[in-house]
Structure 1
């Protein structure tokens, strides 16, 4: 983070420095090369700023993706929490119902306990009666019958008493067993419900904790996103400032180039060749160093398809006749080259100007006879500053096609 801050400060300082430089009037302006150096620096800064802006945008998009994902997760957690709350509500209702059942069963148990207690009292009374009167021998009771009918009555009474005792004992055992079973069921049910309630509560707390954690993470991401947006905005503002400076430098460079050209024109005003009568005029001042035709340069004879006029670098070159510029750029061994097409009384001519140090016209441009088109130089295959000048009949189709001796059309 500290490195980025230092970088931003350095960049801002550089922009301010350049801004101060480009605000100086042209009369005190730095050289053209320095202006171009400043423009190169601005272009570099623009490229770096653009890369950082794209990087910030990518980071913002990444955070937006994470936020969308977290929001979806939070929605899922919220749905689970809602579902868990419903389950907890259901379990609480079941616990309440079980509690009500337990309370009802407690009342039933109380009634059953009362029956048990009554049977206990009855059994205790019978035991006391037996204890007070002695053991009752049911056989003596039967044998003491006065008649068969009395025997039957006695037998029935004995059976009734015996069955009553047995029934009391069975009911006592059944009621005791039922009481224990009901108590066990209620205890297990209540325990299971309480365990389920505790489990649901733990689940709810876990889900709530996860949701809270994701909420905190969202807050962090939103803060980081806001920070990145602010940083991106600052970068965009710096980029806008760099664009303004870039345009200002372009204007300064154009103005300086124009000023330099104007100075060159003024310096070379006296060097412009005089425009002669006739269709063609001499393209530059200089001495003829190599005529048209065969010549020997020390490595064998070759045909020279034009004439060479030697002078100092920067000597003005003019169009030999009025026409249209068809080529203005480097061309093989010609170096910087201009080709102009002329129409003379319905006939097409082409003139070629080679080895220039500067080209001052563009393809498609219309030029007049004697109009300056460039400056003498030594580009391409050249042993010194001079103008190589050719004239061709017909359109340009290579140096051999329609090539004629220029001295047939111009005078030196």
Structure 2
């Protein structure tokens, strides 16, 4: 009976041990799967918000283009207004000159009128003298000559008087005609200039009205621009809040990663190397380690970017164990490899991948292909984002190093 209980107790213990052995990875797998599911939901939300941000950005650019067009029209109107003002000044100058001409003409008219008045007075005086002396004809004057010489003198005098009277009358008529024509001409010229000035003033008023209308449109566009910018900032704030949520999930994933590393160490799967790190891909350095500004505000860049075409092979920078291979926030598809270099633990991060060639728990050799370059996550073009951390990965900032201290380009 004792052996029976002993045998059954051993069997029960074995079953419990097996169940515990099976339960641990199952729980780990379930937790990792749950976190990945949450991460995917967050990524979908972020993509939706990022799409809205891009739409707002495009709307802002369109609005800015409209502003530039209107500003160009405003510039044209301002130039036209300036030209109109110059024309108005020219017309006003012409009017002033015409007024001076009118003044000079009026002075001439006054002088001519004085001469005419003096002639009229002379003729009236002669007429009164003739009337006082009775009706004496020029023939009587000629016939009253005492001699032929006296006759000639009297004839010459009579002709002179007659011609003088005729000349006075002609001069009076000519002067009067000229003066009347000049008065009419100058009055017409003055009227035309006044009409032109009024027309130019009206044109200037129209241009000013158009300018005010354009300014009103600019004000509306600026208000719309401010609204769009405000909405974009709000979306970017929401995007940042999702990044914070993603950071929380990253910490949970990092904890699972540490558990995976502990498992690898316990199983003796973490290789020890002393060969250092190598460049993880063929690509051009497009963004270094440190602060940078991509147009939506300054941010700290925790690694380096090596750009090349989609599908370019990505290799392990050193011997190690894959402790993460999945999507992760703005990094898109990510592989993390934990290394033991001369007793120091390091973790390298490979982000924005288009494909995986390894999975969690795989032991990799330096130079072994682990994935392919892509454009997943927040990117502006195909490239590899590469990070080096001292210790296990516990988020972006923990133990982060400038990769250029460890690899050569």
Provide the TM-score with structure 2 as the length reference: 0.53
Counting only pairs closer than 5 Å after superposition, residues 343-382 of structure 1 correspond to structure 2 as 362=362, 364=364
Match of 2:162 in 1: 162
- Return the offset for 1:90: 2.2
Partner of 2:145: helix, strand, or coil?
coil
- Structure 2: gaps of 5 or more residues: 1-26, 263-320, 322-358, 367-409
- Retained in 2: the 8 A contact 1:32–1:257? no
Match of 2:153 in 1: 153
Mapped to 1, the partners of 2:73 and 2:56 lie a distance apart of 25
Match of 1:69 in 2: 69
Over aligned residue pairs, what C-alpha RMSD do you find?
3.3
Match of 1:222 in 2: 222
Mapped to 2, the partners of 1:47 and 1:127 lie a distance apart of 116
Counting only pairs closer than 5 Å after superposition, residues 72-87 of structure 1 correspond to structure 2 as 72-87=72-87
The count of aligned residue pairs is: 245
C-alpha deviations, 1:384-409, integer Å up to 9, x for none? xxxxxxxxxxxxxxxxxxxxxxxxxx
Match of 2:204 in 1: 204
Mapped to 1, the partners of 2:360 and 2:71 lie a distance apart of 65
**More divergent stretch after superposition (144-153 vs 194-203):** 144-153
Mapped to 1, the partners of 2:155 and 2:233 lie a distance apart of 114
Mapped to 2, the partners of 1:169 and 1:188 lie a distance apart of 29
Mapped to 2, the partners of 1:167 and 1:229 lie a distance apart of 91
Match of 1:137 in 2: 137
C-alpha deviations, 1:350-369, integer Å up to 9, x for none? xxxxxxxxx87548589xxx
Mapped to 2, the partners of 1:232 and 1:77 lie a distance apart of 33
- Return the offset for 1:258: 9.0
Mapped to 2, the partners of 1:177 and 1:169 lie a distance apart of 12
Mapped to 1, the partners of 2:31 and 2:362 lie a distance apart of 25
Match of 1:117 in 2: 117
Match of 1:279 in 2: none
- Return the offset for 1:198: 0.9
- Return the offset for 1:36: 4.4
Partner of 1:238: helix, strand, or coil?
helix
Match of 2:97 in 1: 97
Match of 2:352 in 1: none
Match of 2:381 in 1: none
Match of 2:56 in 1: 56
Counting only pairs closer than 5 Å after superposition, residues 6-405 of structure 1 correspond to structure 2 as 35-252=35-252, 362=362, 364=364
- Structure 1: gaps of 5 or more residues: 1-26, 263-324, 326-358, 367-412
**More divergent stretch after superposition (169-178 vs 222-231):** 222-231
C-alpha deviations, 1:51-85, integer Å up to 9, x for none? 11111111111222222222222222222222222
Provide the TM-score with structure 1 as the length reference: 0.52
- Return the offset for 1:137: 2.1
Mapped to 2, the partners of 1:142 and 1:118 lie a distance apart of 29
- Return the offset for 1:34: 5.5
Match of 1:335 in 2: none
Q: Alpha carbons of 1:360 and 1:114: their partners in 2 closer, same or farther (altered >3 Å)?
A: closer
- Return the offset for 1:164: 0.8
Q: Alpha carbons of 1:71 and 1:360: their partners in 2 closer, same or farther (altered >3 Å)?
A: closer
C-alpha deviations, 1:126-185, integer Å up to 9, x for none? 333333334442233223323222222121111101101111110110111112112112
Mapped to 1, the partners of 2:243 and 2:215 lie a distance apart of 41
Match of 1:399 in 2: none
